[in-house]
A = this chain, B = another copy of it.
């Protein structure tokens, strides 16, 4: 998935900064209130821009939401290090999972404006959003698969490990664990989901001790 800004020619540095500020305001409001609870007017006020400014960058709420989806898909689901495409050993996978768990714990197991939350809220209603979200998940799966390929290439995983299935198992664990953890305000679902996925990946370790 490419950043939507690539499709907008001739954006000045100041214009880019304004657009970023609008998107950031949208992300923060959606984390708190969901997509439905967030109006374009709320975003305009929070970003401190005029009506003509926000309309210049996003001519509808749908355009704004699609840009939010693209922005979140281009980001890391677990911000910071290690990054999703560079988890090239079991320790790095574990560190990534621990970072996801720690982030949710620090956040009080509350909802965020994540790709998973957006998929839950928008999936059924809007076909354009569904495709954007699908592309985002595909991008994330591709990065995890790239990590697992590096592990296979260096001999950590068996040659017959199905990297597509393993990367999907890890991504669905993150998403399902996060959904239940945020709904139940309890870290255990996310921890159990990621433990299970990592253990499954480990069952394909070349060196089974």
**Chain A residues near B (Cβ < 8 Å):** 30-34, 36-37, 111, 116-117, 119-125, 130, 133-134, 137-138, 164-166, 168-169, 171-177, 179-180, 182-185, 188-193, 195-197, 199-200, 203
Contacts of A133 in B (CB 8 A): 183
Query: When the two chains form their complex, are residues B121 and A121 in contact, meaning their CB atoms are under 8 A apart?
Result: yes
Contacts of A168 in B (CB 8 A): 180, 188-189, 192-193
> With the chains together, A71 CA to B137 CA distance in Å?
31
Q: Known: A133-B183, A179-B179. Is A32-B124 also a contact (CB below 8 A)?
A: yes
Q: Known: A34-B124, A124-B32, A124-B34. Is A172-B184 also a contact (CB below 8 A)?
A: no
Contacts of A37 in B (CB 8 A): 124-125
